Structure 1
Amino acid sequence: MQSQLCLITGANSGIGRITALELAKKGFDILMLCRNLDKARPVRQEIKAVSQTKRVDLIQCDLASQESVVQAAREVIDRYDHLDVLLNNAGLFIDKQAFSPEGIELTFATNHLGPFLLTNLLLDLLKKGQQSRVVTVSSEAHRWNRGFHLNEMARPRSYSGMNTYGASKLCNILFAKELANRLMNDGITSNSLHPGAVNTNFGVGAVSLQGLAFKLMKPFFISPEKGAQTSIYLASSPEVNKVTGLYFDKCRPKTPNSDAQSDFNAKKLWELSEQLTHLKERTALVKV
């Protein structure tokens, strides 16, 4: 039997690092997709030291850049013939508005469009895996969002770091939900999760009042070890082999807000994401 392969974005720090370490201990081959290779290489060695299989790979990927995502997907497809778990873990919080290389609001581009594109480009590998799973790290911050303004996601009329982050986390839940529906007949599950309020370097560069309040609360947050537990559970537990389309908190299903439960929102977000990522054209390029 082939060993199980888990691809984790943002595996070099925070809950991504802990998740990679624990899954490596469980016997998974680990594929790290990280933006900064210099920071990722020492972590790769750390994971390799505890790995049962000693197979820990590293590919550069900046989720904010669609060209980078396409290049990373090509490398994954060139190196591997299957994928068992895709863990969309990496995320971004910024308190000053910025834009991706494609001119899309950076938080939305990084937290939603990057994982959306990566997942779709790797679907053929997932279909060749064993009881394959897509796990997407969202957040209870999705409840911060006041009204789902889909037409403003790429170019907001006004900017708030907290609101924009919350909206991107709402997109994570909607994406996981719609993906579950689309893969129902392929034997691939798709779930999202809230890791908890975790004390990591996430959002460390924020300087606004909201960002400073976020930093002041950090000593009261849970450890990355605790924050990674639901990701590890959804990636590896036999209890969720056939569970799909749900949002989890503390390893249990939880009901997200009404916007995140909407099939209409999920379908419209998917259509917009296909357009913004030029999905059909980029899928064709990767398959050539």
Structure 2
Amino acid sequence: MNGKVCIVTGGNTGIGRETARGLAQRGAKVVLACRDMGRAEAARDDIAGTTGSKDVEVIALDLGSKASIRAFGERFRATHERLDVLVNNAGAWLGSRGTTGDGLEATFGVNHVGTWLLTQELLPLLKKSAPSRIVVLSSALHYRGRMDWDDLQFERRKYSTTAAYNQSKLANVLFTKALARRLEGTGVTVNAVHPGVVATDLMRDYPKLLVKLFHLFLLTPEQGAACSLHVATAPELGGVTGEYFEKSRIKPAATAALDEAAQERLWALTEALAT
């Protein structure tokens, strides 16, 4: 990975932080794309200290804000000539229904729409830098996901945190499949990954005691980063695209994620929401 430039969204904590650390250990220049700049700078210092890397950078990014995403893209393109790996790691699992600054239901807005828009912003540079890779963090919960096409943002039905999260993770795989088709022949690959059930800040809005108990049974963030790092860096995966990975191995995605009509329907809807 020497000389390669990588972006990790949500790189200030949990799986993202350990993914960024792993990329830095392998010699890559790493950009932490984060909303909380204080925590991001602390993560940068930690990663630099443990890896000896002088190439860890922080750029502000709020995936719940289209303006922030576009500003990030503009700044990154202005200051970097290449992008070899984009790890769409950041995500949210909220304890109650909320909205982004743009008025989108927050789980869907951050986990899917924000990820979709950021990837579009960076695609020209990824294509210019090919061979390059995009890694999208989904979840095994996408198998339980259902796209409610009439109410994707829970504006009419009763809000369920689990249903919202599962739907967003299914959307991640639908997006990965649709994007892989669009990138055929460009040298840019895109794959979705399940990191495992990991002790992270994802459930930070839940009661602290519940989170502590839950964390007793989970993987460490370092273990959770292993699959992302494998898909981002393994030489043998250079031509692999449009796949879903668990435990660093390809696994068939949910039947709902394989529906090409659904992939294209979501793409068109997302395109409209992201404008």
Smaller-chain TM-score range?
Answer: over 0.9
Note the residue ranges of structure 2 that are not aligned, 5 or more in a row.
none
1:273 paired to 2:270: yes
Q: Name whichever of 25-34 and 256-265 sits farther off.
A: 256-265
Q: Deviations over 1:114-162 (max 9, x none)?
A: 11000001111101214100000000111232x3212322344221000
The verdict on how the C-alpha distance between 1:35 and 1:6 changes in structure 2, with shifts beyond 3 A counting, is: same
Corresponding residue number in structure 2 for 1:8: 8
Q: Name whichever of 45-54 and 58-67 sits farther off.
A: 45-54
Pairwise CA distance, 1:56 = 1.2
The verdict on how the C-alpha distance between 1:215 and 1:142 changes in structure 2, with shifts beyond 3 A counting, is: farther
Q: Deviations over 1:89-113 (max 9, x none)?
A: 0010012111111111000000011
Corresponding residue number in structure 1 for 2:96: 96
Does the aligned pair in 1 maintain the 2:130–2:187 contact within 8 Å?
no
Distance of 1:223 and 1:166 partners within structure 2: 22
Q: Deviations over 1:214-245 (max 9, x none)?
A: 66332111111111100000111101100000
- Give the count of matched residue pairs: 274
Pairwise CA distance, 1:2 = 7.9
Corresponding residue number in structure 2 for 1:251: 248
Corresponding residue number in structure 2 for 1:153: 152
Aligned partner letter, 1:237: A
Q: How does 1:131-150 map to 2 (within 5 A)?
A: 131-145=131-145, 147-150=146-149
Aligned partner letter, 1:251: S
Aligned partner letter, 1:48: A
Aligned partner letter, 2:55: R
Does the aligned pair in 1 maintain the 2:2–2:28 contact within 8 Å?
no
Distance of 1:206 and 1:84 partners within structure 2: 36
Give the alignment's Cα RMSD to 1 decimal.
1.8
The verdict on how the C-alpha distance between 1:151 and 1:52 changes in structure 2, with shifts beyond 3 A counting, is: farther
1:230 paired to 2:195: no
Aligned partner letter, 2:148: H
Corresponding residue number in structure 2 for 1:26: 26
Does the aligned pair in 2 maintain the 1:26–1:52 contact within 8 Å?
no
Aligned partner letter, 1:144: R
Distance of 1:26 and 1:247 partners within structure 2: 24
1:115 paired to 2:115: yes
Does the aligned pair in 2 maintain the 1:195–1:249 contact within 8 Å?
yes
**Structure 2 length normalisation: TM-score?**
0.95
Q: Deviations over 1:5-45 (max 9, x none)?
A: 01000000001000100110101100110000011101111
Distance of 1:266 and 1:218 partners within structure 2: 34
Corresponding residue number in structure 1 for 2:169: 169
Distance of 1:62 and 1:186 partners within structure 2: 28
Pairwise CA distance, 1:267 = 0.6
Does the aligned pair in 2 maintain the 1:64–1:101 contact within 8 Å?
yes
- Partner residue of 1:220 out of 207, 217, 240: 217
Distance of 2:235 and 2:86 partners within structure 1: 16
